[in-house]
A = this chain, B = another copy of it.
Amino acid sequence: MSNQRSGEPDPRAAADGCCPRLLSSPPEEAEAVEYARVFKALGDPVRLRLLSMIASHNGGGEVCVCHLTPAFDVSQPTISHHLKLLREAGLIASERRGTWVYYRLLPETTDRLASILTRIPSGDTACNDGADSAPCTDHPAQT
């Protein structure tokens, strides 16, 4: 799994702006796999509510697992499993303090998702591929 910290393995101009946006240019296969893993982690109601409870608690810091578990109808191992998936997706991080484990949001990941889902406000088509929009006059091969 790649960490979005230092070295960006995507050749598509990571730092300077143009094209890490899903809605402007199709991602590479590896990049698509990476994003899909994060979106898949959000694709479960329990995980979505877990993430939301972690992100929205009023302290601004962390949430104890002992506050998350009793809020759901599923068992404690299931909650632990979902937290693990969210952690492996880079959405949250955990820290043990004494008996209890606290989870906190990693805002870089949600910021990144929000960014790639945001449309470029006006006509910025600098990074498009060569797909045409004419009424399909050619006959591409098909499997």
Binding site for B on A (CB under 8 A): 1, 3, 5, 8, 11, 22-27, 29, 32-33, 35-37, 39-49, 51-53, 55-64, 66-67, 69-70, 75-76, 97-98, 100, 105, 107, 110-111, 113-115, 117-119, 121, 123, 125, 127-133, 135-136, 139-143
Contacts and interface: CB of A to CB of B under 8 A. Distances in A.
Contacts of A139: 66
Give chain A's interface secondary structure class: loop
Nearest to A105: B23
6 contacts: A27-B49, A32-B52, A39-B48, A40-B40, A59-B132, A59-B133
Nearest to A5: B121
Contact of A48 (B24, B35, B49, B58): B35
A33 to B, nearest CB: 5
Given A43-B42, A45-B36, A56 B23 contact: yes
A22 B51 contact: yes
Nearest to A97: B135
B51 A40 contact: no
